[in-house]
């Protein structure tokens, strides 16, 4: 008799905040411009930054599984807010579906970014803790990219 695969859906929300010594316009451009985003995120095979537009990328560690990020932009307020929904696959398995809100707030000396993700993590293949750890790493890489990027003239 064949053993049936265990299925599960774990719902969670997390928020990560960062302050960057850059204007909201520069931080927004790091999300909205394909070349700028590729400096800190997987380079996109498809990048259509508009409401209803899609972002699609694949990548992963050497010798590891291939992760596929497939997003659709739901709301964009230039220099202030980005909302997108996305699914994440590991190989041929769907591991999560999420809605993410990125808020940009001008503060003295820069921008406070508030990243909130509401997700469902599927079949024990991913966890909110792993996703939050990965998000912290991505936002650190965003900060590094902003520090090394020259100011626009």
Question: For 65-124, how does the pLDDT look when each residue is reduced to its tens digit (9 = 90+)?
Answer: 999 999 999 999 999 999 999 999 999 999 999 999 999 999 999 999 999 999 999 999
Higher pLDDT, 81 or 148: 81
Does residue 75 contact residue 88 with C-beta atoms inside 8 Å?
no
Give the predicted TM-score (pTM) of the model. 0.91
pLDDT at 153: 40
CA angle at 133 for the pair 63 and 33, rounded to the nearest 5°? 80
DSSP 53: -
State the CATH number of the domain containing residue 139.
3.30.530.20
**Count of the separate structural domains present in the chain:** 1
Average pLDDT over residues 1-27: 90
Q: Please report whether residue 2 resides in a domain.
A: no
Determine contact, residues 56/69, Cβ cutoff 8 Å: yes
Note whether residue 153 is domain-resident. Answer: no
Whether 4 is covered by a domain: the verdict is: no
Q: pLDDT (tens digit, 9 = 90+) per residue, 28-65?
A: 999 999 999 999 999 999 999 999 999 999 988 888 89
3 domain-assigned: no
Is residue 117 in some structural domain?
yes
Judge whether 74 lies within some domain.
yes
50 lies in which domain range? Answer: 9-148
Cα 39 from chain centre = 13
> What is the per-residue pLDDT for 137?
96
Residue that has been written with the tokens 């932009």 in this structure:
73
According to DSSP H, which parts of 1-127 are helical? 24-32, 34-38
CA–CA dist 87, 122 (Å, integer): 11
Which of 62, 56, 108, 59 is CA-nearest to residue 87? Answer: 56
Alpha helices in 21-99 (DSSP H): 24-32, 34-38
Q: What is the C-alpha separation between 123 and 105, in angstroms, rounded?
A: 36
Residue 1 lies in a domain: no
**For residue 65, is it within any domain?**
yes
pLDDT tens readout for residues 111-127: 999 999 999 999 999 99
**pLDDT value for 3:** 60
- Among candidate residues 132, 134, 94, the one with its CA nearest the CA of residue 116: 132
């Amino acid at each position: 008799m064949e053993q049936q695969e265990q299925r599960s859906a774990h719902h969670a929300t997390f928020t990560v905040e960062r302050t960057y010594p850059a204007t909201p316009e520069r931080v927004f451009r790091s999300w909205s411009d394909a070349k700028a985003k590729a400096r800190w995120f997987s380079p996109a095979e498809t990048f259509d930054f508009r409401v209803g537009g899609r972002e699609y990328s694949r990548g992963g560690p050497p010798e590891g599984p291939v992760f596929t990020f497939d997003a659709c932009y739901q709301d964009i307020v230039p220099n202030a807010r980005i909302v997108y929904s996305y699914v994440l696959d590991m190989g041929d398995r769907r591991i999560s579906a999420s809605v993410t809100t990125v808020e940009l707030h001008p503060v003295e000396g820069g921008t406070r970014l508030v990243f909130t993700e509401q997700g469902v993590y599927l079949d024990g293949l991913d966890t909110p803790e792993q996703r939050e750890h990965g998000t912290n790493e991505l936002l650190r890489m965003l900060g590094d990219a902003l520090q090394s990027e020259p100011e626009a003239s």
